[in-house]
Structure 1
Amino acid sequence: MSNKEILESEQQYYAQADRIKYFDIVIKSGKGAILTDEDDHQYIDLLSSASATNTGHSHPHVVKAIQDQAAKLIQYTPAYFANEPEAKLTPRLAKLAPIEGDVRVAYGNSGSDANDAIIKFARAYTKRQYIVSFTGAYHGSTYGSISTSGVSLNMTRKIGPLLPGVVKVPFPSPWYRLKGETDDEFSDRMFEAFKLPFETYLPADETALIEIEAIQGDGGFLKAPERYLNKVYDFAKENGIMFAVDEVNQGLGRSGTMWSIDHFPHIHPDMIAVGKSIASGLPLSAVLGRAEVMDALAAPGNVYTTAGNPVTTASANATLDVIESENLVARSAKLGAQAKEFFAKMKGKFNFIGDVRIFGLNGGIDIVDPETGKADNQAATKLITRIFELGALMITVRGNILRFQPPLVIKEAELQQAFQILEQAMQELNDGKIADPTTKMGW
């Protein structure tokens, strides 16, 4: 069946809340960084299934691990009994954790429930209720994680009341920076904004958790200033507040380091949430945390029937094998430097490119109105539509920000081909050769 035929059948029954509108294609297969749709069109993947396939599509080592395990045992709930792949994975993850002291691992099915679990563990350990998160955050779609998110009104509209006790503070996004403000001045001013709730209505001694994406993903690929995040971390430590980092989008080599928090050597979080690429896209997540924090919650306080099942944990072990054997963390940093150079060149060439933020094979490129400097959602939609027509798959976040996250295994020749496609589309936009979009796309 064709893309059109499959979609016409599906859309009669598919809930609109479950898919953000982009292109009318049906993905049939993938290999490495190349995707094929049901019409046999091929695309260079610059999205990695929302950063869930860092090891690329259908990596042979991962595929074999899944197949071998499925032939032995697909599922028996780890809520009651261990299985060999899970028992092997657990110490591997604990040893990789950017956490001081003994580490415990708790499994889930998605990044959303991992972030929910962090709330539970923090409240259980501290015996406090309040949770602090940041504007622009995307932590997931379960009730706890959607309550701590702050990136789309459709994640709060019509579904309240949300989880009580959640307070949001402003993330130090670059568009909040004042003209002429130094890095230190910006960090200090944003830290004062962070402290304001604690000085007016939020008791620090009743606050259980501060959770942050050290590099926001869907919020626009924004790295928190180091001085700012160090101050927030120190505040948490001084007040007995758990400090957690959401690594679901940015972990496992995505930002050119194993974890995004590795960009901040002063910080050793109490817990991190891991998901997406941990099992090369299979439904698995984990919370890695300090032993005394994780041991504060007893079973069945964080039990899921399929979490940590044999097939997903076999895939995760194989995924870690690939990350290690193919040096994907270093590769992300190396190819990310090439991407940073390319997008800086494009910024110098085209006046509709605003800020460029690249961290490893990962980043956001702002598309703006050259006259006002403000976000230009229509131009960004034109760009991704033309990029798609030319054979690469790219989307936007926040309406006007190009999302750049190719698989970490992308071949250099494929990356250079993607750059050629991007430059051609940008040149055509610059020359007024791309028609206005016919449908609204994106968040």
Structure 2
Amino acid sequence: MKNKEILDQEGQTFASASRIKYFDMVIDSGKGAMLKDVEGHEYIDLLASASSTNTGHSHPKVVEAITKQAQKLIQYTPAYFANVPAARLTKRLADLSPIEGPAEVAWGNSGSDANDAVIKFARGYTGRQNVVSFTGAYHGSTYGSMSASAVSLNMSRKMGPLMEGFYKVPYPSPWYRKSYETQDQFIDRMFEEFKLPFETYLPADEVALILVEPIQGDGGIAKAPEKYLQKVYEFAHEHGILFAVDEVNQGMGRTGKWWSIQNFPGIHPDLMSVGKSLASGLPLSAVVGRKEIIESLDAPANVYTTAGNPVTTAAALATFDVIEDEHLLQRSHDLGQEAKEFFDKMKEKYDFIGDVRMYGLDGGIDIVDPRTHQPAVQVATKLIYRMFELGVIMITVRGNVLRFQPPLVITEEQLHRAFDVIEHAMQDEADGNIAFDKNIGWSTD
């Protein structure tokens, strides 16, 4: 069948709310950093299934682990009995976590329910109700995680009221910095805005949790200033508030370190959510936290029938092996440097490129109107569509930010082929040769 035939057939019974519209393609297979659609067209993948296949598509070691475990036991609920891969994985994940002191793990099926679990354990341990998160955050689509999110109005429109006890403070994204501000002035101003709720209507001693993406993903691939996050971290601990980090998008080697919070020296979270690439894209997530916090709740407070099942945890163990054996943290760092140099070069060449942010193989490239420096959503849309036509998969977040997150196993040759395509698309835009004018991508309004 053709892409269009399958999409037309699926569209009769598939919910519009369940897919963000980008390209009319149906993926048939993938290997490493390459994808193939049902018509046989090949693409270099610069999205890695929303950073959930950091080890690439169908990595042989992950496939072997899944196959061997499936031949032994596919599922028996960990809600009642242990299984060998999950038991091994709890220790491995706890030992690798940035948690200070003894850590424990609880399983989930997705990043969304891992963040729900973060909220549960924080409330259980502190005896407090309120949760503080940040504008631009994407924590998931279950009611708890969605109540903590603030990246798109379509995540709250027609679905309220959301859960009570959730408050948002501004995330210090670089585009909020005033032209006249030094970095220190920007940090001081944003921290004053962070404190304002606590000084006016939100008693700090009634707040259980501050939940943050140290590097926001869908909010624009933007890293919080280190001094700012240190101030928030110290504020939390001064007031008995737990400090939690969402590593669902940015963890598992994405930034050149195991966890994005490790880009912030001296910060050790109390709780951490993990998902996406934990099992190379299979449905497995986890909340990792200080032992006394995780032990504050008793079963069945965080029990799921399929979470931590034998196949997904076997895949996760293989994923950790691949990242370590193939030195993917270093690879992300090194190839990320090459990507930064490339996009900086493009910024010098094309006036519609604004800020370039790269943290390992993890980048956000702002597309702007060269006259006003405001977001140029339609230009960004045209660029990614032209890349798609030329055989590269890249999407946008926030409308105008190119999201650069290839599998960490991408070869240098594939990476440089992708660079050639990106430059080709940018030159086509500069020459006025891209006619695409449809609205695709995330809706933020």
Same fold per superposition (TM over 0.5): yes
Q: Is residue 340 of structure 2 the alignment partner of residue 336 of structure 1?
A: no
- 2:73 is aligned to 73
Supply the distance in 1 between the matched residues of 2:55 and 2:79 (Cα, whole angstroms).
28
**The residue matched to 2:388 in structure 1 has which SS?**
helix
- CA drift at 1:442: 3.3
Supply the distance in 1 between the matched residues of 2:426 and 2:126 (Cα, whole angstroms).
51
**The residue matched to 1:184 in structure 2 has which SS?**
helix
For the 8 Å contact 1:110–1:285, the answer to whether it is kept is yes
Show the 5 A alignment for 1:77-88: 77-88=77-88
- 1:45 is aligned to 45
**The residue matched to 1:422 in structure 2 has which SS?**
helix
**The residue matched to 1:364 in structure 2 has which SS?**
strand
Supply the distance in 2 between the matched residues of 1:266 and 1:150 (Cα, whole angstroms).
27
- 1:292 is aligned to 292
- CA drift at 1:18: 0.0
- CA drift at 1:439: 4.3
- 1:435 is aligned to 435
- CA drift at 1:178: 1.1
Supply the distance in 1 between the matched residues of 2:74 and 2:401 (Cα, whole angstroms).
40
The answer for unaligned runs of 5 or more in structure 2 is none
Q: What letter corresponds to residue 188 of structure 1 in structure 2?
A: D
- CA drift at 1:92: 0.3
**The residue matched to 1:82 in structure 2 has which SS?**
coil
- 2:194 is aligned to 194
Supply the distance in 2 between the matched residues of 1:439 and 1:297 (Cα, whole angstroms).
46
Supply the distance in 2 between the matched residues of 1:84 and 1:439 (Cα, whole angstroms).
48
Tell me the TM-score normalised to structure 2 length: 0.99
Q: What letter corresponds to residue 350 of structure 1 in structure 2?
A: Y
Map Cα deviations across residues 275-314 of structure 1 (whole Å, 9 max, x no partner).
0000000000000100000000110000000000000000
Supply the distance in 2 between the matched residues of 1:440 and 1:425 (Cα, whole angstroms).
17
**The residue matched to 2:105 in structure 1 has which SS?**
strand
**The residue matched to 1:191 in structure 2 has which SS?**
helix
Show the 5 A alignment for 1:51-62: 51-62=51-62
- 1:174 is aligned to 174
**The residue matched to 2:414 in structure 1 has which SS?**
helix
Supply the distance in 1 between the matched residues of 2:218 and 2:357 (Cα, whole angstroms).
13
- CA drift at 1:441: 3.6
For the 8 Å contact 1:247–1:272, the answer to whether it is kept is yes
- 1:93 is aligned to 93
- 2:250 is aligned to 250
Supply the distance in 1 between the matched residues of 2:179 and 2:142 (Cα, whole angstroms).
39
Supply the distance in 1 between the matched residues of 2:364 and 2:163 (Cα, whole angstroms).
30
Tell me the TM-score normalised to structure 1 length: 0.99
Q: Is residue 343 of structure 2 the alignment partner of residue 369 of structure 1?
A: no
- 1:156 is aligned to 156
For the 8 Å contact 2:211–2:246, the answer to whether it is kept is yes
For the 8 Å contact 1:336–1:360, the answer to whether it is kept is yes
- 1:345 is aligned to 345
- 2:233 is aligned to 233
Map Cα deviations across residues 344-377 of structure 1 (whole Å, 9 max, x no partner).
0000000000111110001110111111110011
Supply the distance in 1 between the matched residues of 2:179 and 2:418 (Cα, whole angstroms).
34
**The residue matched to 1:415 in structure 2 has which SS?**
helix
For the 8 Å contact 1:279–1:316, the answer to whether it is kept is yes
Q: Is residue 298 of structure 2 the alignment partner of residue 262 of structure 1?
A: no
Supply the distance in 2 between the matched residues of 1:376 and 1:199 (Cα, whole angstroms).
37
For the 8 Å contact 2:387–2:422, the answer to whether it is kept is yes
- CA drift at 1:176: 1.1
Supply the distance in 1 between the matched residues of 2:370 and 2:64 (Cα, whole angstroms).
50
Supply the distance in 2 between the matched residues of 1:222 and 1:402 (Cα, whole angstroms).
12
Q: What letter corresponds to residue 361 of structure 2 in structure 1?
A: L
- CA drift at 1:421: 0.3
Supply the distance in 2 between the matched residues of 1:25 and 1:336 (Cα, whole angstroms).
28
Supply the distance in 2 between the matched residues of 1:269 and 1:368 (Cα, whole angstroms).
35
Q: Is residue 204 of structure 2 the alignment partner of residue 208 of structure 1?
A: no
For the 8 Å contact 2:397–2:441, the answer to whether it is kept is no
**The residue matched to 1:188 in structure 2 has which SS?**
helix
- CA drift at 1:181: 1.2
Q: Is residue 406 of structure 2 the alignment partner of residue 423 of structure 1?
A: no
**The residue matched to 1:210 in structure 2 has which SS?**
strand
| RMSD of aligned Cα (Å) | 0.7
Supply the distance in 1 between the matched residues of 2:438 and 2:295 (Cα, whole angstroms).
54
**The residue matched to 1:35 in structure 2 has which SS?**
strand
Map Cα deviations across residues 182-225 of structure 1 (whole Å, 9 max, x no partner).
11111111000000000000000000000000000000011000
- 2:301 is aligned to 301
Q: What letter corresponds to residue 104 of structure 2 in structure 1?
A: R
Supply the distance in 2 between the matched residues of 1:344 and 1:278 (Cα, whole angstroms).
31
Show the 5 A alignment for 1:130-141: 130-141=130-141
For the 8 Å contact 2:385–2:436, the answer to whether it is kept is no
- CA drift at 1:104: 0.3
- 2:30 is aligned to 30
For the 8 Å contact 1:384–1:396, the answer to whether it is kept is yes
**The residue matched to 1:36 in structure 2 has which SS?**
strand
- CA drift at 1:440: 3.6
Map Cα deviations across residues 43-74 of structure 1 (whole Å, 9 max, x no partner).
00000000000000000000000000001000
**The residue matched to 1:335 in structure 2 has which SS?**
helix
- 2:12 is aligned to 12
**The residue matched to 1:408 in structure 2 has which SS?**
coil
- 1:310 is aligned to 310
Supply the distance in 2 between the matched residues of 1:29 and 1:142 (Cα, whole angstroms).
29
Q: What letter corresponds to residue 11 of structure 1 in structure 2?
A: G
The answer for unaligned runs of 5 or more in structure 1 is none
Q: What letter corresponds to residue 414 of structure 1 in structure 2?
A: Q
Supply the distance in 2 between the matched residues of 1:110 and 1:227 (Cα, whole angstroms).
31
Supply the distance in 2 between the matched residues of 1:281 and 1:358 (Cα, whole angstroms).
23
For the 8 Å contact 2:75–2:309, the answer to whether it is kept is yes
For the 8 Å contact 2:46–2:404, the answer to whether it is kept is yes
- 1:401 is aligned to 401
**The residue matched to 2:322 in structure 1 has which SS?**
helix
Map Cα deviations across residues 144-189 of structure 1 (whole Å, 9 max, x no partner).
0000000000000000010100000000011111113111111111
For the 8 Å contact 1:395–1:442, the answer to whether it is kept is no
Judging changes above 3 Å, is the alpha-carbon distance between structure 1 residues 438 and 176 closer, same or farther for their aligned structure 2 residues?
Answer: closer
